[in-house]
Structure 1
Amino acid sequence: MKKTALSLSVLAALALGSAHAATVVKVATISPLSGSSSNLGLQIKNGTQLAINEMKDEFAKLGMTLQLVAYDDQADPATGTAAARRVAADRSILGVVGTLNSGVAIPASAVLAPSHVVMVSPSNTNEKVTDRGLKNMNRVCARDDAQGPAGGNFVTNTLKAKRVYVLNDKTPYGQGLSDQAEKEMKDNGATIVQSEGVAAEERDFTAIITKIQALKPDAIYFGGLYGQVGPFVKQLRDKGIQTPVIGGDGYDSDDLVKLAGTGATNIYFTTVAPPVDAVPAAKLLAGNYQKTFGSNIQGYGVMSYDAARVVLLGILNAAKANGNKVPSRTQVETSVRNGSYNLLTGPVKFDKNGDRMAAKMYVIAVKDGKRSTAGTVSVTRK
């Protein structure tokens, strides 16, 4: 009798544990947590964590325990796709915030689509991210077909450059951005003296700088990430070349200045992530970020917080529509796409492809290692 009673007690405890485990709801991040882009990848993870911390109590009221699962994609499509497969296999994960790189988002979202795992990107700008019409893929940032032209216009209309050297890092992000900027500069009457790609892993720019010295462009447009652009600018300045270098939001990291060293001047970039001081509503978030992580929040931290809020509110709205029970992935996918959200960066509503209907971009100047806002561009999807 005692053995039977003990067995029943054990079974009851196990059943109770299983019931508790079934209430766990997870949100995943997929971003580079190691490698040359880890600074931005950590902003995505940490911004999401802050949103989760703030909304845990709302989930608890519905009997759900909210958790973050962070995956390191190393800014690599194959690694990111493998992470997406692990996400799909974990049925407690109802949404993903990420990725940093469009080249990772495109295959990762395709892997997640059959399982209806919703993704909300804070940073992916390549048009193909949403133009494929996947029901699970959304973004809270502007696209390359807005960012590229904004950068091109800045080169020709503000910097008054007539001759431009164009580079890209051979990734979907860098090439797409440079292609759009190049088209806009040509339309504005500029001459493209050279347009070429350089592998994202390359850090020796001797041959390219030799060509720049010979062609003497008025400006250099480089579609790439800070981990590569920083060393490029340093080598450029070490050769005495002070030509302006312009790019996109892949430059948006404090590490750009560290990598460029004393050469961190005459650099401009468009960014879909706002300077923190340009978003008054983010002041409290910035304080929480500093207190929690011991470092300063950056633009992608703000964007990731907003992206995470979209995922979390989508889950909550789907749960309420589901009788306050944990919703299915399909219900969350539909809820996110059809929702309206008031976020730190403004109102968000998605079009049929998951693009944000109204967004802003910023032009940032780096002079002598210090950043300032050089302009703001409003973007509206039709």
Structure 2
Amino acid sequence: MRHRSLLVVSIAVIGALTVSACGSRDDKKGGSDNAGSGTTVVIGVDAPLTGDLSALGLGIKNSVDLAVRNANTANEVPGVKFEIKALDDTAKPAPGQQNATQLVADKNVLGVVGPLNSSVAQSMQQIFNDANLVEVSPANTGVALSQGEKWASGTKVRPFKTYFRTATTDAVQGPFAARYLYNDAKKAKVFLIDDQKTYGAGLAATFKGEYTKLGGNIVGEEHVNPDDRDFSAIVTKVKSSGADAVYYGGEYPAAGPLSLQLKNAGVDIPLMGGDGVQSAEFIKLNPKSQGDLATAVGLSVEKLPSASKFISDYAAAGFKDPYETYGGYSYDSAWAIIQGVKAVVAANNGKLPGDARSKVVDAVQKVSFDGVTGKVSFDEFGDTTNKQLTVYKVQDGKWAVESSGTFTG
């Protein structure tokens, strides 16, 4: 999901890998050691492990950990043992940039899953690209990350060959939400609010473009600070606007209180957001969230036959925190890196080559497998080829599937 600071990082080319102790886990290490394995490959994880968005971050970390456990148990890459190294970015760009530098400096790291936030990704991309270290995000939806700053005008240029994602972009998510609100929910007047961050502002912009094209009326627009929790002034504006829905570009820590304050003021209209809202934490923050809406990338994991083993394995692993919105996509992101390593090792007589990082980047570009979330592969921009999305509605204290589909422009 968020300003890019460029940092030149020089690193030694990866040679033979040695075992290192790293990773942050729950109560036990992931998987079982490969018999006779002499090479350790580390998969880095960058996510908010503390703070307001930690529910999502911990789900990301745990799901990568599960992928590593399963790869080790199945001896997915003969001669290679996988570990994770999880670092906390607190959902902020500066710590994310520091984490990227730390991961690059660890010669055992051959891939990174994360981050959650697009603004954090912006601070990391150049560092990983300079080091030929592959990065696969399960959650970033900011379009410019993969298609360049001029994507909206039709000029699409991939800025970094090392950047991939298993989540679809806001170029799809925003318009998908707009079509649902206008065509299906019959909401002709929307008050638009965003949190001014890369993810939230971008999502709101793509929503607005499609919604107005369909004939919808934006009856008011406001911007908030993501740390704000008192929305009384905006509630008054929404109430007087005649809006029959609010669209919020941002995340659940602010969206929950905003929706609650609207309902408390008698503004009985749904608030709709994107995947940054579709979390159980939103409902905890807003006991009056019945009828609120959110889109999320892909189809509901709980309804996918391909996810049944992931769900049962996650439960059996005993993680303290749920896999949350991005669990399946995090598992698939890690598995894409594992499959990349597998291809590189197989092509080099069962061993990692000296230029393993750059070769893993090339291998991840070519991966194609049936994952937790469906078919996993990447297009020429490093974006997922899976363009499916789901609209969820809060019903009886839970997010329930309202509709699903594939967006076509």
- TM-score clears 0.5: yes
Distance (Å, rounded) in 1 between the aligned partners of 2:233 and 2:368: 50
Give yes or no for contact 2:174–2:207 (8 Å, CA) kept in 1. Answer: yes
In structure 1, the gaps of 5 or more residues are 1-17
Residue 286 of structure 2 is aligned with which of 248, 255, 260?
A: 260
More helix by share: 1
1:367 corresponds in structure 2 to 395
Q: 1:264 deviation in Å?
A: 1.3
After superposition, where does 1:1-382 map in structure 2 within 5 Å? 23-57=39-73, 62-132=78-148, 133=158, 134-261=160-287, 263-292=288-317, 293-327=319-353, 328-379=356-407
Under a length normalisation based on structure 2, what TM-score does the superposition of the two structures give?
A: 0.85
Which segment drifts farther, 93-102 or 314-323? 314-323
Deviation of the 1:192 alpha carbon: 0.8
How many Å apart are 1:60 and its aligned residue? Answer: 7.9
Structure 2: stretches of 5+ with no match in the other structure? 1-16, 21-37, 149-157
After TM superposition, give the deviation of residue 180 of structure 1 in Å. Answer: 0.5
Structure 2 CA distance, aligned partners of 1:320 and 1:85? 29
Q: Tell me which amino acid in the other structure corresponds to 1:343.
A: G
Aligned mates of 2:363, 2:182 — CA distance in 1 = 42
For the residues of structure 2 that align with 1:151 and 1:248, how far apart are their CA atoms? Answer: 8
The offset of 1:358, in angstroms, is 2.9
Could you tell me which amino acid in structure 2 is paired with residue 175 of structure 1? Answer: A
Q: Do 2:71 and 2:77's aligned partners in 1 also have CA atoms closer than 8 Å?
A: no
SS of equivalent to 1:249 = coil
TM-fit CA distance, 1:275: 2.5
- The higher radius of gyration belongs to 1
**8 Å CA contact 1:205, 1:232 repeated in 2:** yes
Give, as a single letter, the amino acid of the residue that structure 2 aligns with 1:120: V
Seen in structure 2, the aligned counterparts of structure 1 residues 340 and 204 have a Cα distance that, compared at 3 Å, is same
Is the contact made by 2:58 and 2:321 (CA closer than 8 Å) also made in structure 1?
no
**Match of 1:251, SS?**
coil
The Cα shift of 1:194 comes to 1.3
Does the 8 A contact of 1:27 with 1:96 survive in 2? yes
**Number of matched pairs:** 363
Q: How far has the Cα of 1:357 moved from its partner?
A: 2.0
**Shift in CA distance, 191/49, structure 1 to aligned 2, threshold 3 Å:** same
Residues in 1 aligned to 2:370 and 2:283: alpha-carbon distance in whole angstroms: 33
Post-superposition shift, 1:20? 5.1
Contact preservation (8 Å) 1:229, 1:256: yes
Instruction: Describe the shift of the 1:230–1:19 C-alpha distance in structure 2 as closer, same or farther (beyond 3 A).
Output: closer
C-alpha deviation, 1:19, in angstroms: 5.7
CA distance in 2, matches of 1:282, 1:57: 19
Task: From the superposition, tell whether residues 155 and 258 of structure 1 become closer, same or farther in structure 2 (CA, over 3 Å).
Answer: same
Find the aligned partners of 1:321 and 1:196 in 2 and give their Cα distance: 54
CA distance in 1, matches of 2:19, 2:114: 28
Question: Is the 1:164–1:219 Cα contact (8 Å) retained in structure 2?
Answer: yes
Shift of 1:50: 0.5
Q: Secondary structure at the match of 1:231?
A: helix
Question: How far is 1:145 from its partner?
Answer: 0.6
Render the CA deviation track for 1:129-160: whole Å, top value 9, x for unaligned. 11142110011121101000001111111121
Pair 231,95 (structure 1): closer, same or farther in 2 beyond 3 Å: same
* Residues 275 and 298 in structure 1, CA contact (< 8 A), matched pair in contact too: no
Q: 1:283 to 1:161 in 2, by over 3 A?
A: same
Q: CA RMSD in A?
A: 1.8
Query: CA separation of 1:72/1:313 partners in 2, compared to 1, >3 Å: closer, same or farther?
Result: same
**2:387 match: secondary structure:** strand
Q: Using the TM superposition, give the Cα deviation of residue 367 of structure 1 relative to its aligned residue in structure 2, in angstroms.
A: 2.7
The whole-number CA distance in structure 2 between the counterparts of 1:119 and 1:41 is 16
* Offset, 1:184: 0.9
The separation in 1 between residues aligned to 2:145 and 2:213, in whole angstroms, is 26
